[in-house]
């Protein structure tokens, strides 16, 4: 049955000149049919340059929207229209407008995990792999308003000299599933392993890591090293275990599962290729403003 679906996907992909982009957190069966798998930044960079008639995006909505913003001529469909990011929903454009009014003359940095309307209200966008670099490009006398992730914002504040005011948003997967008790446990059970932690985690967790980074940062580290504890959503761990069966990996917590990323199934991918749904449509005026904050980020990346 699964083989049958995979064969159909491969055939249709060719016929329709389609490209499948997938995030590191989707299930392995979906990662295996993708043309490119990566973190938010790498997926955005890929979407911008890819030449295809159709992009099928396997991830969450803000990622598909970013792909469409960067490649407006190509039809972009989200494999599963219900795959959203709860953190991106933790701030609206109106809330951001009020936040800006409370702190005039600040620079708004928005994490890419945000709506297109929020990006349109921001000065510069960032991902987890370039947040510190982007912040360092902002003049030091400027206050940074960081939205929506309080944890990544706190990490940025620790790594730069800026005054950073963070919005109270968070990723339920990283914020709620990793604690300092989990860190103590893995340190005891795997004393000679390196601990890699995503900056969407709590400061009490990322401050105890050996390396803090994006999912691509973790994948790159794993290429060269062995004995690694992965402190992010388990999809990346499954990818690394499959890619490097000879290496030793452990999870900071197996409970860290993003149900939204897991909504993308092989059946959805096939359906997207067959019916070219659900297409991402973006308001042109908002797109123009949102693109500015994304392009500003890409220039620095």
Residue 160 Cβ vs ligand 13P, minimum distance, rounded to whole Å: 19
Residue pair 45/256 in contact (Cβ under 8 Å)? The answer is: no
d(CA 274, CA 17): 12
Strand order in the sheet with 164-166: 124-126, 107-111, 144-147, 164-166
Q: Binder to ligand SF4 among 55, 171, 229, 230 (CB under 6 A)?
A: 171
Pull the structure tokens for residue 97: 């407008």
Q: Binder to ligand 13P among 26, 31, 37, 40 (CB under 6 A)?
A: 40
Query: Judged by CB under 6 A, does residue 85 bind ligand SF4?
Result: yes
Q: Binder to ligand SF4 among 30, 70, 173, 237 (CB under 6 A)?
A: 173
Long-range contacts of 234-237 (CB under 8 A, 24+ apart): 235/23, 235/24, 235/25, 235/26, 235/27, 235/28, 235/31, 235/261, 235/262, 236/24, 236/25
Cβ atoms < 10 Å from Cβ of 28: 11
Pull the structure tokens for residue 141: 């006398």
Query: Judged by CB under 6 A, does residue 66 bind ligand 13P?
Result: no
202's contact among ligand SF4, ligand 13P, none, with CB below 5 to 8 A by partner kind, is none
Q: Binder to ligand 13P among 115, 154, 214, 260 (CB under 6 A)?
A: 214
Which one, of 38, 86, 39, 33, lies nearest residue 56 by Cα?
A: 33
Please, which of residues 51-70 interact with ligand SF4 by CB under 6 A? 60
Query: Judged by CB under 6 A, does residue 175 bind ligand 13P?
Result: no
Q: How many CA atoms lie within 13 A of 31 on its CB side?
A: 19
56's contact among ligand 13P, ligand SF4, none, with CB below 5 to 8 A by partner kind, is none
Residue 105 Cβ vs ligand 13P, minimum distance, rounded to whole Å: 30
Residue 51 Cβ vs ligand SF4, minimum distance, rounded to whole Å: 27
Q: Which residues bind ligand 13P (CB under 6 A)?
A: 24, 39-40, 113, 127-128, 171, 200, 214-215
Q: Which residues bind ligand SF4 (CB under 6 A)?
A: 60, 85-87, 113, 171-173, 200, 233, 258, 260-261
């Amino acid at each position: 049955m699964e083989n049958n679906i995979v064969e159909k996907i491969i055939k249709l992909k060719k016929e329709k000149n389609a490209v499948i982009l997938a995030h590191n957190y989707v299930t392995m069966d979906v990662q295996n049919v993708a043309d490119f798998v990566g973190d938010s930044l790498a997926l955005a960079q890929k979407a911008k340059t890819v030449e295809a008639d159709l992009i099928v995006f396997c991830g969450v909505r803000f990622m598909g929207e970013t792909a469409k913003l960067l490649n407006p001529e190509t039809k972009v469909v989200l494999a599963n229209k219900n795959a959203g990011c709860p953190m991106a929903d933790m701030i609206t454009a109106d809330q951001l407008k009020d936040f800006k009014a409370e702190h005039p003359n600040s620079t708004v940095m928005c994490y890419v995990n945000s709506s297109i309307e929020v990006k349109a209200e921001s000065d510069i966008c960032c991902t987890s792999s370039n947040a510190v670099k982007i912040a360092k490009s902002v003049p030091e006398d400027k206050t940074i308003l960081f939205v929506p992730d309080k944890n990544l914002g706190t990490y940025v504040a620790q790594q730069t000299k800026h005054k950073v005011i963070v919005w109270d948003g968070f990723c339920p997967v990283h914020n709620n599933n990793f604690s300092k008790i989990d860190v103590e446990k893995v340190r005891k059970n795997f004393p000679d392993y390196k601990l890699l932690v995503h900056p969407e985690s709590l400061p009490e967790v990322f401050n105890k890591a050996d390396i803090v980074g994006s999912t691509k940062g973790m994948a790159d580290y794993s290429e060269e090293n062995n004995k690694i504890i992965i402190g992010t959503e388990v999809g990346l761990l499954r990818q690394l275990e499959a890619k490097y069966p000879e290496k030793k990996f452990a999870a900071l917590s197996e409970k860290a599962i993003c149900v939204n990323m897991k909504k993308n199934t092989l059946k959805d991918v096939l359906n997207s290729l067959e019916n070219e749904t659900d297409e991402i449509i973006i308001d042109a005026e908002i797109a123009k403003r949102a693109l500015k904050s994304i392009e500003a980020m890409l220039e620095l990346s």
